[in-house]
Amino acid sequence: YFMKYKTYTFRAYPNKTQQKLFYLTFLMCKFLFNSLLRLVLDNYTKYNSEVEKCLKCGINFDEEKFSISHKLPKISTLKKAHDDYKKVDSLALCAEYSNLVRGMEMFYRGHSKLPRFKGRNDKHSYTTSQVNDNIRIVKNKVRLPKVGFVKVRGMREIPNYFKIKRAII
């Protein structure tokens, strides 16, 4: 049984408060990604220097101990440190976190280069996932988490048996 994915694109017309929330979400996702990437790169350079020291001295390198002491912080601890994280969609932050983890896995496997920092002029977007019917389409509006109903154009008839998996804003 083959599952087929289909993408629908709509043009959104948010009001002023929704625009501000979208912009804050874009900023916080970029800030989360860049700060975690900085930690990952610092850990990567520490790891390389520790391995080189151990090779020079002939000491066995304890990889488990290093990986435990240099873990990425959880999103919940980051939310406590910065109040703006609480204002935005948590699933968008989780998606950025998993994007970074996936990028590093691809790098370690040799399939890609190191992930790069997100700049000021990068594409402003975030991805949110479907959980407990938090993304739904009602007439000419799409309901998004934390934002509410946003007016959209370009509506086409979407069959009832289709499931929404995620939304990219």
In angstroms, the CA 131 to CA 47 distance is: 37
The set of residues, in sequence order, having a beta carbon less than 8 Å from that of 143 and lying 6+ positions away, is: 134, 135, 136, 137, 149, 150
User: What pLDDT was estimated at residue 75?
Assistant: 76
Query: Among residues 63, 140, 72, which one has the least CA distance to residue 100?
Result: 72
Q: Is residue 126's pLDDT more than 90?
A: no
Instruction: Map residue 113 onto helix, strand or coil.
Output: coil
User: What pLDDT was estimated at residue 51?
Assistant: 64
Give backbone dihedrals phi and psi of 113, rounded to 5 degrees, phi first: -85, 175
Is the distance from CB of 124 to CB of 118 less than 8 angstroms? no
pLDDT digits (tens, 9 = 90+) for 36-84: 888 888 877 777 776 666 666 766 656 666 565 566 777 777 777 788 8
User: What pLDDT was estimated at residue 55?
Assistant: 63
In angstroms, the CA 159 to CA 42 distance is: 48
The set of residues, in sequence order, having a beta carbon less than 8 Å from that of 20 and lying 6+ positions away, is: none
- Beta-sheet pairing, 166-168 with 148-153: unpaired
User: Which pTM value belongs to this model?
Assistant: 0.80
Q: Is residue 30's pLDDT more than 80?
A: yes
- Averaged pLDDT for residues 140-148: 88
Query: Among residues 119, 101, 98, which one has the least CA distance to residue 109?
Result: 101
Helices 90-109, 16-57: inter-axial angle, 10-degree rounding: 30
